[in-house]
Amino acid sequence: MPHSPAEADAQLPVRIFLLDDHEVVRRGVHDLLDVEPGLEVVGEASTAEQALARVPALRPDVAVLDVRLPDGDGVTVCRELRSRVPGLVCLMLTSFDDEEALLDAIMAGAAGYVLKQISGTDLVKAVRTVATGQSLLDPETTGRLMARLRHGAAEEQRPDELSQLTDREREILALIGEGLTNREIGQRLYLAEKTVKNHISRMLSKLGVARRVQAAVIAAQVLGEQAQTGNTADAGRTRP
Burial 205-238 (b: 16+ CB within 10 A, else e): eebebeebbbbbbbbbbbeeeeeeeeeeeeeeee
pLDDT class of 104 with cuts at 50, 70, 90: confident
The answer to whether residue 2 scores a pLDDT higher than 50 is: no
**149 and 88 part of one domain:** no
Give the residue numbers spanning the domain of 210.
142-236
Instruction: Burial-class residue 36 by CB neighbours within 10 Å (0-12, 13-18, 19+).
Output: middle
**194 and 81 part of one domain:** no
The predicted-structure confidence for 4-51, as pLDDT tens digits, reads as follows 333 445 578 999 999 999 999 999 999 999 999 999 999 999 999 999
pLDDT class of 75 with cuts at 50, 70, 90: confident
**99 and 165 part of one domain:** no
Q: Structurally, how many domains does the chain consist of? A: 2
Q: Is 231 helix (H, G, I), strand (E, B) or coil?
A: helix
The answer to whether residue 240 scores a pLDDT higher than 60 is: no
**70 and 153 part of one domain:** no
**73 and 162 part of one domain:** no
CB neighbour list of residue 119: distance below 8 Å, 6 or more residues apart? none
Burial 116-144 (b: 16+ CB within 10 A, else e): beeeeeebbebbbbbbeeeebbeeeebee
Mean pLDDT of 111-122: 88
The answer to whether residue 229 scores a pLDDT higher than 80 is: no
Burial 87-115 (b: 16+ CB within 10 A, else e): ebbbbbbbeeeeeebbbbbbbbbbbbbbe
**120 and 55 part of one domain:** yes
**29 and 88 part of one domain:** yes
**53 and 104 part of one domain:** yes
- As a whole number of Å, the CA-based R_g of the chain is 21
Q: Is 59 left (phi over 0), alpha (psi -120 to 50) or beta?
A: left
The answer to whether residue 223 scores a pLDDT higher than 80 is: no
The predicted-structure confidence for 191-209, as pLDDT tens digits, reads as follows 888 898 888 888 888 887 7
